[in-house]
């Protein structure tokens, strides 16, 4: 909607529909709908809105899920949700969350939660998340897991003694008599039905929802072993072996695996927890002339707060008084403190240096930069790179296929061997060795750790797909101003006329320019001030917009401006002073006093100190660097030469940048890095886009990755992180696939005891998560 008239027209369209009462709010862009008897269905309402020339923006919903035990569960929930009209969902097994986008009118949160419940799982909308409560809930769940495992282990321990006795004795002896069979049954029963009831509950919920998960495999395998053994005991068949130790040991080992997995998974979100711990719980605010300590939640925008030496900044703010420095490494990854003066910004969770600062709060709660970083990281952690699609497809059919293989194994051993016990053991081993968990955890755990490490290094990933694509960047297109350069003019060369001292030239020029706020004027003042010069006051100052300024300094009539401006004032600048600056792509600012030329200042946007090393590092990573700029060719050539860039294009307009990116895409995967509004079209056209954190909001919104630190080296870090993360994902998928490819046939051929199979299954998921945690060794600046 572009105007109030649009809102009125849409309201009329909706109110014409049978049984619909609509009220459209132009300010919020939302419509409130009431439905009476015989009201039009949601699909007709949406069709009417679109026919009127409007669209319905999808809304986002995050769900906390319960009851998932493996990748098959995640695949089942995802399938159920994506079948709903107007719903697009992605489920993260590692984080136990679902990110849902739904079209209002076709779906709503209540219907989405109900669909998850019908599939046999629980779902709770996450809004205004209480992180402390989440942390306490997870800690309690981990403690409960440990308690259940401890009880199961105590009940299973006697079976371990029996198994050691059996392996140590003669093959023909009935060593199961070490534990009377009635005692074995007594020990195994609570493990099977009390401690192991979660597997029955999970299996029933999964089957009732039309799917099958790991709980089905565990419940089926242990039940077969338990009930066969119980039948042998009740029938008094002393000639047959009992497998109470197998059923109890399998459940205990699976619980051990779940416990270790939960502890390892807790480490995948360590980066976010570390960021959040940096924000202080209280703030020192000014109220009625007094300083009070209040909880940080009570701080609102506009309040004045104080930072003492060493204080952590409670909220985002602007410095009003004082001078200090701030350690912003947690935001940018840069260890060098940043100077803070009045007018500078401070950010929540950074640390104040030695000075005292009086600041005004500008961003609190969810509006702080820290909160935005956390949201971006969590959003990326919930995404799925394309590499996971194969694992998802396999997980969806994994359990039914395994059950089929187990039935075939049981039938073949019984048919060809003629004995029930070996057939039963091998069939159970197939059920137990299979583990879809490792497949489901392979990708999300690596993505969670990788994006967390990126956040700590000042690399904010918007989605997991971007992290995957960054690995194979062939061409990096870079903007010049603000990306390769500092983004503000500076005097790079001073050429004084014969007989004129450099300090005199700068003092007279800066004295006149100090009355102006033009960027070129500030550059002249900065270089003079850096030399420690005292600037006298200028009088009778007259500025000519876009040309220059004139006035009286120390009794002399001074002119400062473009060479053309001086010509207009009757002063000609010698070509020998101008031509070297023009050839170098510098903007000349001429200075004259009392009709005589004093010299020319060469002004340009200087190259960032880190850009040359960053370009060299990108080349070492095999990335071709191309610079696009709207500046004139001489300036572009100078910056390209200083940065070590071999290929550049000058005088490229914003639409031309997008066209250039499209052309380069025919030569390989293209990434773009920029910081301005004019870069947004090119950022959107690139396969992967990077926005410098100090850039415009439009550029940041269009980019896939945001670099908090204003340094091109962060692009190299992002590529390095992408390659490290994708390497871990491939390793995890290999381990998950090879485990099942080797384990299931081995069990079917009778080469694995069910207890050994249970131990292997329990450790497979732990090994995948542990391998992902090795990503925490990744550091920015290392390839």
CB-based contacts of 777, cutoff 8 Å, min separation 6: none
- In the DSSP assignment, the letter for residue 572 is P
Place of tokens 């590529």: 719
Residue at token pair 């990110």: 99
Does 479 participate in catalysis according to the annotation? yes
Residues 6+ apart with CB under 8 A from 123: 63, 64, 65, 66, 98, 112, 113, 116, 117
Q: How far is CA 354 from CA 173, 279, 307, 322, in A?
A: 79, 19, 10, 11
Q: Are 120 and 69 in contact (CB under 8 A)?
A: no
CB 295 within 8 Å of CB 332: no
Q: DSSP label at 742?
A: H
**Can you tell me the distance from the alpha carbon of 427 to that of 413, in angstroms, rounded to the nearest whole number?**
9
At CB < 8 A and 24+ separation, what contacts does 548-551 make? Answer: 549/512, 549/513, 549/515, 549/516, 549/521, 550/512, 551/512, 551/515
| HEC readout, 627-691 | EECCCCHHHHHHHHHHHCCCEEECCCCHHHHHHHHHHHHCCCCEEEEECCHHHHHHHHHCCEEEE
Half-sphere exposure of 328 (CA within 13 A, CB side): 21
Which residues on neighbouring strands pair with residue 97, listed in sequence order? 64, 92
Torsion angle (degrees, nearest 10) of CA 748, 749, 755, 761: -50
Q: Which residues pair with 499 in a beta bridge?
A: none
Q: How many Cβ atoms are within 10 Å of 240's Cβ, its own excluded?
A: 16
Cα separation values, 412 from 408, 432, 742, 747, 753, Å = 6, 18, 19, 13, 17
- Residue 354, SS3 per DSSP: coil
Say how many C-beta atoms besides its own lie within 10 A of residue 211's C-beta.
Answer: 21
Which residues, in sequence order, are CB contacts of 5 under 8 Å at separation 6+? none
Concatenated DSSP letters of 158-212: HHHHHHHHHHHS-TTS-GGGGS-HHHHHHHHHHIIIIITHHHHHHHHHHHHTT--
Question: In degrees, to the nearest 5, what angle opens at C-alpha 749 toward C-alphas 734 and 771?
Answer: 20
C-alpha 761/C-alpha 740 separation (Å) is 9
Distance between CA atoms of residues 148 and 251, nearest Å: 11
What's the CA gap between 243 and 423, in Å, rounded? 13
Catalytic residue among 215, 311, 327, 479: 479
Q: How far apart are CA 556 and CA 126, in angstroms?
A: 70
Q: Taking CA 523 as the corner, what is the angle to CA 522 and CA 528, rounded to the nearest 5 degrees?
A: 95
- Give the tokens for residue 651: 């005088």
Kind and range of the H or E run holding 286: strand 282-287
Beta bridge partners of 321: 358
Cβ neighbours around 333 below 10 Å, total: 23
Nearest to 187 by CA among 232, 226, 148: 226
* Active site amino acids: 479
């Amino acid at each position: 909607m572009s105007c109030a008239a649009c809102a009125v027209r849409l309201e009329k369209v909706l109110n014409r529909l049978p049984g619909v009462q609509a009220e459209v709010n132009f300010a919020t862009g939302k419509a409130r709908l009431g439905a009476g008897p015989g009201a039009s269905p949601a699909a007709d309402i949406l069709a009417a809105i679109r026919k009127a020339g409007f669209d319905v923006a999808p809304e986002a919903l995050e769900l906390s899920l319960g009851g998932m035990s493996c990748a098959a569960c995640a695949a089942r929930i995802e399938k159920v949700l994506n079948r709903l009209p107007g719903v697009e969902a992605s489920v993260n097994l590692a984080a136990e969350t679902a990110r849902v986008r739904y079209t209002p009118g076709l779906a709503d949160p209540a219907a989405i939660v109900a669909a998850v419940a019908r599939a046999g799982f629980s779902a709770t909308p996450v809004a205004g998340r209480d992180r402390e409560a989440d942390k306490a809930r997870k800690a309690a769940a981990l403690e409960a897991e440990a308690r259940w495992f401890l009880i199961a282990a105590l009940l299973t321990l006697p079976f371990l003694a029996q198994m050691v006795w059996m392996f140590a004795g003669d093959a023909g002896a009935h060593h199961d008599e070490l534990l009377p069979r009635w005692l074995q049954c007594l020990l195994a029963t609570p493990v099977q039905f009390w401690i192991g009831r979660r597997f029955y509950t999970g299996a029933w919920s999964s089957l009732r929802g039309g799917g099958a998960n790991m709980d089905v495999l565990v419940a089926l395998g242990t039940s077969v072993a338990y009930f066969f053994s119980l039948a042998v005991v009740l029938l008094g068949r002393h000639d047959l072996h009992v497998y109470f130790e197998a059923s109890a040991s399998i459940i205990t080992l699976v619980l051990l695996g779940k416990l270790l997995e939960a502890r390892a998974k807790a480490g995948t979100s360590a980066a976010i927890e570390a960021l959040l711990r940096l924000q202080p719980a209280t703030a020192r605010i000014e109220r009625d002339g007094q300083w009070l300590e209040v909880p940080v939640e009570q701080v609102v925008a506009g309040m004045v707060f104080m930072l003492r030496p060493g204080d952590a900044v409670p909220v985002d703010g602007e410095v009003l008084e004082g001078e200090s420095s701030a350690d912003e490494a947690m935001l940018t990854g840069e260890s060098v403190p940043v100077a803070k003066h009045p007018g500078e910004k401070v950010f929540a969770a950074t640390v104040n240096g030695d000075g005292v600062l009086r600041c005004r709060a500008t961003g609190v709660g969810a509006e702080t930069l820290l909160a935005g970083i956390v949201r971006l990281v969590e959003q990326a952690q919930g995404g799925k790179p394309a590499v996971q699609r194969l694992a998802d497809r396999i997980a969806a059919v994994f359990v039914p296929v395994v059950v089929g293989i187990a039935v075939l194994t049981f039938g073949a051993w019984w048919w060809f061997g003629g004995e029930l016990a070996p057939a039963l053991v091998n069939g159970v081993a197939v059920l137990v060795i299979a583990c879809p968990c490792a497949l489901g955890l392979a990708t999300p755990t690596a993505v969670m750790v990788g994006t967390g490490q990126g956040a700590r290094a000042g690399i904010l990933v918007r989605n997991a797909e971007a992290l995957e694509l960054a690995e194979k960047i062939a061409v990096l297109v870079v903007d010049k101003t603000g990306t390769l350069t500092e983004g503000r003019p500076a005097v790079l060369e001073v050429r004084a006329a014969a007989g004129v001292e450099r300090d005199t030239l700068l003092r007279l020029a800066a004295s006149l320019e100090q009355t102006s706020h033009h960027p070129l004027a500030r550059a002249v003042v900065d270089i003079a001030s850096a030399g420690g010069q005292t600037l006298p006051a200028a009088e009778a100052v007259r500025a000519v917009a876009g040309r220059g300024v004139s006035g009286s300094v120390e009794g002399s009539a001074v002119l400062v401006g473009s060479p053309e401006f001086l010509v207009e004032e009757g002063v000609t600048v010698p070509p020998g002073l101008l031509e070297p600056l023009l050839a170098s792509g510098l903007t000349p600012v001429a200075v004259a006093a009392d009709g005589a030329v004093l010299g020319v200042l060469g002004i340009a946007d200087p190259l960032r100190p880190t850009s040359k090393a960053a370009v060299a590092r990108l080349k070492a990573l095999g990335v071709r660097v191309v610079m696009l700029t709207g500046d004139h060719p001489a300036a572009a050539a100078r910056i390209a030469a200083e940065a070590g860039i071999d290929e550049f294009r000058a005088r490229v307009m914003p639409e031309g940048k997008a066209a250039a990116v499209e052309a380069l895409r025919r030569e390989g995967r293209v990434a773009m890095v920029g910081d301005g509004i004019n870069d947004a079209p090119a950022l959107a056209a690139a396969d992967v886009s990077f926005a410098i954190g100090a850039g415009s909001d439009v550029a940041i919104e269009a980019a896939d990755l945001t670099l908090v630190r204003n340094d091109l080296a962060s692009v190299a870090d992002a590529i390095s992180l992408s390659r490290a993360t994708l390497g871990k994902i491939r390793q995890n998928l290999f381990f998950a696939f090879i485990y099942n490819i080797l384990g299931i046939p081995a069990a079917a051929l009778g080469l694995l005891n069910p207890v050994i199979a249970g131990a292997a299954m329990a450790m497979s998921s732990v090994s995948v998560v542990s391998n992902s945690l090795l990503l925490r060794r990744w550091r920015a600046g290392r390839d």
